[in-house]
């Protein structure tokens, strides 16, 4: 892709590199995404927030939360303040890896940095606790979300329903389903 651009006299820019990084990330190839990231820097281009968010997400999807954390920290070292998107991706990385306490640490840090969690952040934390079969904590997060005035999405409801279903709590799953229907 990049060679083809160069052959046609087009100098790849940040958008081009970010697109290629995203392509590798979406296809569960975080190492190739990292190679493009390094090439981008070698070409004198500075990675931006989109670059780092994509790499954090890539490592999360590949069940490599430590590498996702490294990218998160590198982002900060480069003077880029993580947004809600970066925090959500890191929370999700720990959720994917079955590390709910680390996911919760990131969630707390996000708030300490003055960033208000959105529905996706809450859903990712619910997923973290649900996967760890800590449904009481998942429900606490769901209730906190509502107290904060954040409207649960269909993903949030589905995540919580799945957590109860996987822990043989069909009555609680049905209760959440009924709440979802009431919400509309």
Q: Summarize the confidence of residues 27-34 as an average pLDDT.
A: 94
Distances (CA, A) of 99 to 63, 117, 127: 11, 19, 10
pLDDT the model gives residue 6 = 55
Share of the chain above pLDDT 70, in %: 94
Rounded to whole angstroms, how far apart are CA atoms 106 and 19?
Answer: 27
Dist. CA 98–CA 87, nearest whole Å: 17
Which of 137, 156, 141, 75 lies closest to 111 in space, CA to CA?
Answer: 141
Burial pattern 143-167, b for ≥16 Cβ within 10 A else e, equals eebeeeebebbeebbbbbbbbbeee
Half-sphere exposure of residue 33: CA atoms within 13 angstroms, side-chain side: 29
The rounded percent of the chain whose pLDDT value lies above 90 is: 85
Give pLDDT tens digits for 80-110.
999 999 999 999 999 999 999 999 999 999 9
pLDDT confidence of residue 4: 56
User: Tokens 């589905």 map to which residue?
Assistant: 158
Mean pLDDT of the region 36-56: 94
Longest dimension (CA), the chain: 63
What is the helix, strand, coil percentage profile of the chain, to 5?
75, 0, 25
Least confident segment among 4-18, 32-46, 83-97: 4-18
Instruction: Give the lowest-confidence range in 16-20, 105-109, 122-126, 130-134.
Output: 16-20
Rg (the chain; Cα; Å): 19
Residues 6+ apart with CB under 8 A from 165: 173
> What predicted TM-score, i.e. pTM, was given to this entire model?
0.89
Q: Write down the pLDDT at residue 81.
A: 95
């Amino acid at each position: 892709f990049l060679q083809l651009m160069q052959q046609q006299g087009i100098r790849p820019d940040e958008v081009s590199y970010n697109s290629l990084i995203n392509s590798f990330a979406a296809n569960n190839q975080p190492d190739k995404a990292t190679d493009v990231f390094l090439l981008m820097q070698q070409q004198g281009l500075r990675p931006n927030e989109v670059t780092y968010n994509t790499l954090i997400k890539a490592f999360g999807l590949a069940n490599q939360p430590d590498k996702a954390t490294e990218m998160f920290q590198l982002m900060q070292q480069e003077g880029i303040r993580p947004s809600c998107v970066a925090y959500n991706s890191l929370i999700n990385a720990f959720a994917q890896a079955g590390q709910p306490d680390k996911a919760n640490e990131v969630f707390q840090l996000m708030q300490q940095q003055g960033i208000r969690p959105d529905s996706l952040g809450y859903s990712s934390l619910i997923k973290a606790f649900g996967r760890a079969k800590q449904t009481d904590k998942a429900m606490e997060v769901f209730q906190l979300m509502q107290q904060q005035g954040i409207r649960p999405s269909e993903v949030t409801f589905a995540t919580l329903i799945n957590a109860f279903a996987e822990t043989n709590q069909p009555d609680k799953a049905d209760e959440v389903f009924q709440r979802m229907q009431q919400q509309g």
